[in-house]
A and B are shown apart, each in its own frame.
Chain A
Amino acid sequence: MLRQLKKKYFIDLGSTLASTFILCIYLFVGWYFFNWLIIDGVWVGDANICKNSSGACVSFLKEKFTFILFGVYPREYLYRPILGIVLLVIGWIHFTKKKNWNNLLFVKFLVLMIIYFVLLSGFGENKVETSKWGGLPLTLLLSIVGVAISYPVGILLALGRTSKQAVPRYLSIVYIELIRGVPLISILFMSSVLIPLFLPDGITINKLFRAQLAIIFFSSAYFAEVVRGGLNSIPKGQWEGAKSIGLNYIQTIKLVILPQALVKVIPPTVNTMIGMFKDTSLVIIIALFDLMGTTKASMTDSKWLGFSVEAYFLCAVIYFIICSRMGRFSKKVEEEFQRSH
């Protein structure tokens, strides 16, 4: 173990110097952080004790933990979003196993999504209005419904863009390039300000749905580009082979091309999903209370002012855990592909 360490980090003068320097940086940051969180951190006590200490105010986080995670969701029904998140975690573990990658996966995913939605909203007397949804469950909802709709739309757009017919091709190109050329914020603005203007009198769409629409519009263009990469990587022989056994276009796409193309682009697809998950934080700009929104809102309590860094830290940890789990999966698949080639 020690010898390995020596071989890896301390072979010659150069690497020893570099290792020592980097180690010093790590130690310094680690020590600073340890001081901030543990030694100077206030774990028990109210805001006044926190204000007099130079460390982290952990008691603020303890006080606001439920609020940051779940927003103003009614406390008596809190078990429902928790159950939903547990189901999602189980689903994630299930979906990332290679033996489950078949057509049934899409059905399972849809069922899971519907269950999650029903759990959040409830029905009858237990119904919880969408305006009360918040925190992590909302962030997850925006991303999962976003993926579930924009991924198929993205596939259609990619097929359109690679199609030989002019009309779908140009429509797809215009759509994809238009969306990819503008920032998500402008699309969020558009959906929050403009959609009401496009609707007939008397019909209103709630804010959550509008934000969801914007996210779907936005990410379908990115999914389309990822899928197009997969479609382009399929050799021509596959198309010709399918034609020679008498498959028509839809059969060829469904049975031959897509199953290969989609598996090939799993890593970039997951990366797009990570990007989308992170991008849902932008809905705070149109005043929705997703995880970022509740984090921001937790700082406005007049009893606990000035602990923004602590709140951001907790929020960052949650985002980091979820994103890095997804990223690790994408990396694993990529390495598997490289080994098999």
Chain B
Amino acid sequence: MNINKKLSSKIFSAAILIIVLGSFYSLFSQLQHNLSAQNVATGFGFLEYEAGFEISESMISYDSFDTYKKALTVGFFNTLKMAAVGCAFSFLLGLIFGVMGISKKHALKNFSETYINITRNIPLLLQLFFWYALFTDIFPSVRNAHSFFGILLSNRGFYFPVFSSSVVNYLFAFSIVLLNLGIFYFSLVKIKKYKGLSFILLSIVGVVGCIFIFSIIFPVSAPKLQGFNISGGKSLSPEFCSLFLGLTIYTGAFMAEIIRSGILAIDKGQWEAGRSIGLNDYQLLRYVIIPQSFKVSLPPLISQFLNLTKNSSLAVAIGYPDFVSIANTSMNQTGQAIELVGLIMAMYLSLSLLSSGVLNFFGRSSRA
């Protein structure tokens, strides 16, 4: 009977294999037949042709005489840019709302729940359309741009002042981060009561002070209205802003939920034990709670990062030139659908394999 069973399972496996391979074979032979009937050339040769379309924003130099390859590279970097910025800010948002969700202050908890509820139950695409409509339909034209503290908001995008030299800008960002880390540590360790409140207040004072000091020392380039356009400063396009807002707010809600449940998953005894051996709140979080909850929430967090990256492909709906959107334009121009869809899939697959590799590596090292 045992031999019989083994044999039948082998036959079953072989049958599945034959069916799958057979259907693949017939599909591909049909594909070849259809392609030759339609006179479509296959292969990646078209990547060297001139693309002939403009791309509204790019991190590397590009013009319409460049090749499809270059255009797709531009799209790839735009996707990476959106993914990097989106991941960072949605994690921040998730952290804030996740911690608010376990707060003893019911109002904060309620606020976090409302945020999660609203954003998770409305399709991301709709949220993107909404933010985009806000920019293009609601915000005023450049001439009547909303302006506050040197920031200009119009239907052409978001303009903000920067320091004239880029080194100073990096220095500024670095010192803001350092300052906030310092304040975070200080308010958790040194202050007895109202830690959260004092952190927020100190941080605001610190950032404002930093801006003040820097702008006295270094020259500032502020956006100004000149004719029909805005010059100076730095600008973000409405497409970038709406995609960024949509992705960050949407993914942030999922991250908040993950972080909240990660902290809740830690046994109450851990908190009590930590307190009983005299740890203060900072030490308790840093050495007891966060390391344990991190282990629970890291895998779902990574998968949210991946989701955000994949969701950034919705850029095609609002016209941010990401990889998918440029591949789509190329597809319409060249008709090389198979190659381009293959490229899109390969791009996202390699990103997700890469990140799961990284996750496995860290998972192993944190367990060891």
Contacts and interface: CB of A to CB of B under 8 A. Distances in A.
A340 B34 CA distance: 59
Interface string B345-356: 100110011000
Contacts of B348: 181-183, 186
Given A18-B105, A281-B125, A186 B341 contact: yes
B13 A167 contact: yes
B313 A186 contact: yes
B34 A296 contact: no
A292 B324 contact: no
B11 to A, nearest CB: 11
Task: Give the interface centre of B106, B138, B328 by most chain A CB atoms within 10 Å.
Answer: B106
Task: Give the interface centre of A9, A279, A284, A312 by most chain B CB atoms within 10 Å.
Answer: A312
Contact of B125 (A193, A197, A198, A282): A282
Given A19-B105, A181-B349, A200-B30, A312 B324 contact: no
A279 B349 contact: no
Interface string B327-349: 01001000001100100110011
Given A183-B313, A186-B344, A292 B126 contact: yes
Given A182-B344, A183-B311, A194-B337, A14 B124 contact: no
A323 B122 contact: yes
Contacts of B126: 281, 292, 312, 315-316, 319
Given A189-B341, A312-B133, A319 B121 contact: yes
Interface in B122-154: 122-126, 129-130, 133-134, 137-138
Contacts of A166: 13
Nearest to B348: A182
Contact of A18 (B30, B37, B108, B138): B108
Nearest to A321: B121
Contacts of B353: 181
Interface of B is mostly: helix
B225 to A, nearest CB: 24
Nearest to A175: B20
B16 interface: yes
A15 B107 contact: yes
A13 interface: yes
Contacts of A312: 126, 129-130, 133
Given A14-B193, A22-B110, A166-B13, A320 B122 contact: yes
Nearest to A23: B107
| Chain A interface size, under 10 / 10 to 19 / 20 to 34 / 35 or more | 35 or more
Interface string A145-180: 000000000000000000001111001000000101
Nearest to A200: B30
A9 B348 CA distance: 46
A197 B31 contact: yes
B12 interface: yes
A296 B129 contact: yes
Given A181-B348, A186-B345, A198 B123 contact: no
A309 interface: yes
Nearest to B351: A181
B344 A15 contact: no
B284 interface: no
Contacts of B352: 180-181
29 contacts: A9-B106, A14-B193, A15-B106, A15-B107, A17-B197, A18-B105, A22-B107, A165-B9, A180-B352, A181-B352, A182-B310, A183-B324, A186-B341, A193-B331, A194-B338, A194-B341, A197-B31, A197-B35, A201-B34, A278-B124, A281-B123, A282-B314, A308-B137, A309-B133, A312-B129, A316-B122, A319-B123, A320-B122, A323-B121
